[in-house]
Structure 1
């Protein structure tokens, strides 16, 4: 399996994503610059966190117009696995690959902390190694992670089982509607989330609960190719 880690001016979690793929699942991975016009060689695309283009206008707004995003849209249509983390989630919403928007945290402060999440949907390519309803510990680091959508969109997300993660219990750190921490598209091959699983792949980092996101992706890809892994 081959991964692409997109790099925009201002990305700062690209190295974390690259190392997570190497250390968690030992698969091929490349950095891909935002001017790239061909992603056909890759099975999965990671859109990392950071401050793409300085987060001018709106977070992710300028990055959504980068040449590489045309290829991300094509990859999504082809059913390839796409994971947007933090600023990557913002970019995916700006590119209309995921519904809704990320706005300022309700306390207007940057939040950087360990965060408990509930796995709401373990049937995606990104969560198949978790248990339904499992509580996991994944760090957050964001100032604009407050997920917002209108009532019609929220009803659609619920009806299609597109809510992938929620902030557990009463621990919502940013005011997101329905405690939403991550969602998928209708097909389930595109996921965006504010927490950082790439920063939780080894206990020395405080948690290794993010590692199973990467093993899940590999497992889903191997299932497509008739060679699923266990655990």
Structure 2
């Protein structure tokens, strides 16, 4: 096989993980905008089963998976990978991404989408230093968060790996950090759960099919 050449970009796959308890427009709309800007061929949603650093979800894994599938049904940009829901141990991003890298081969450009808040706390993630060995990081801007990382060493790491052109993501399998200012919606799953607990309407916050499923399952009711 000839050596990989940056002259012939390969298909760029992006992955977006989350608890999705429930999935909502604050997940879907910024990611769709980011995908258009960065030239993603596909965004694969990765629902977490046991998030290592967050409270456990209210909805069970099967319910959260079904909500994600309903939310993206008929949208060719999105697909769903349930692999993290098949294990009962904490979902560490680096381990999932290493498995995906083996499956897609060494030349396929892979990206992992995170928010600005996650970038600022990335150094607390399990084996975070290995992430750029297996993928790019694509960062969605978040309102109200600082732009500088906590230490000069972390800022230097960011500056070294920062990409200014989305084409760099397609021309390389991994190794870049690319930041995009996307339309940000002030929506959180916590807000949706709280509104449900209070008996308030959530129809403006998430897809109709997801709302109907939540109602049919009696989710997020005290």
TM-score by length of 2: 0.34
| Higher Cα Rg, which structure | 2
By relative contact order (CA 8 Å, sep 6+), the higher-ranking structure is 2
Q: Which has the higher helix share?
A: 2
What TM-score results when the alignment is normalised by the length of structure 1? 0.33
